[in-house]
Structure 1
C-alpha cells in the first residue's frame, strides 16, 4: 500500500501513474484508461488509483462551466485535499486559468522547466509536455498555481 512508501516513492508512483495514461483519448467527463478522460478526472484517477486520496467523484459538471461562471469549482475540490505551494515538485498538481476560472489541471513531472501530464482537448489526448511549449498554457494571464498532498519539508 502506498501509505508505507516514502514521499519520494509516492511522488514517483504518481508520476508513473500519470504517464501510464499518456495516449488515452480526451473525452469530457470520462475516466477510463485507454478509452477516455478529461483533465479533472485524470487527476482523480491518478491520486485515487495510487491510494493517496479516498475515492470521490466530482461529476457531473458541464464541459464549459468555466466560461460562464466565476466560482472556482475546480479549486474547491483541490483545496479540501491539498495545500497550495510556491515551488512544485514531481507529483504535485498544476492548475491554470482557462476562461474565467482555474479550470485546467495536470500533474507535474518536472519542475524546471515545468513539464506536466494532462488531458488536453486541443491535443485530443493525454500528453506530457513542457508548459513553455504550449502556446495556450504559457500565456501570462494563465497564472499557474501549484498544489501538493505533501507537507513542506
Structure 2
C-alpha cells in the first residue's frame, strides 16, 4: 500500500454541517486524556491508559458502551499466534477509511515489530499493534494523540516515520 507523503496527503474539505460530529467529539475527548499516565491494559482518563485503552475510552464517551469485552492481553499479544487481533476488531466496530481520505478524529493503526513492548519499534511487515487518534491536519505535519509506552497519553507529530508504519485508518460511527 502506498502511503501519502506530506505533499500528497489529501485533506478533504470540511464535511457538511452536522456530519462528522463524532470525529470532532473524538478529538476533544482524546485531548482531555492528555497527560494520563501509560498503564498497560488500563482505560481510565487521568489514571492510566495504553493505546487501546485510549481508543476504548474515547469510544465510551463518543459512541457509548464498548461493543465487546476485552480479554487480558500481554505486552507481546500481537506477536503470538500470527493473528491481526486489533485490525480485526477495528474492522468489526469501526468504518474503514482509505489512508488518503483520513480526517481528524479517525483511528490510526500502526504495525509494530516483535519486542516493541519494551521499545517503540515498528516495521511495515509486523502485526498491527499500536493505535492513535488523528487530532490535527494543519501545520507542517498531521498530529495524533496516542499513549506513549512508559510515559503518558501525548499529542505528537505524525511525521514520515509514523506514516511509513500506518497500516489502516478507521472512523468512529456517527
Distance in 1 between the 2:39 and 2:166 partners?
A: 25
Q: Which has the higher strand share?
A: 1
Distance in 1 between the 2:167 and 2:156 partners?
A: 15
Q: Does the CA-based 8 Å contact 1:7-1:150 persist in structure 2? A: no
What is the count of residue pairs matched by the alignment? 141
- Uncovered stretches (5+) of structure 1, i.e. residues with no partner: none
**Which residue of the partner structure matches residue 104 of structure 2?**
90
Distance in 2 between the 1:71 and 1:48 partners?
A: 26
- Uncovered stretches (5+) of structure 2, i.e. residues with no partner: 1-16, 114-125
Deviation at 1:60, TM superposition (A): 1.1
SS in 1 for 2:93: coil
In structure 1, which of residues 22, 45, 53 is the aligned counterpart of residue 57 of structure 2? 45
Deviation at 1:132, TM superposition (A): 0.9
TM-score, normalised to structure 1's length?
A: 0.81
Q: Which has the higher helix share?
A: 1
Deviation readout 1:33-57 (Å, 9 max, x if unpaired): 111100001101101122x153243
Higher-RCO chain (CA-CA 8 Å, sequence separation at least 6): 2
Distance in 1 between the 2:40 and 2:173 partners?
A: 28
Give every structure 1 segment of 4 or more consecutive aligned residues whose post-TM-superposition deviation is greater than 4 Å. Answer: none
- Give the root-mean-square deviation of aligned CA atoms: 2.2
**Which residue of the partner structure matches residue 119 of structure 1?**
147
Check if 1:131 corresponds to 2:145. Answer: no
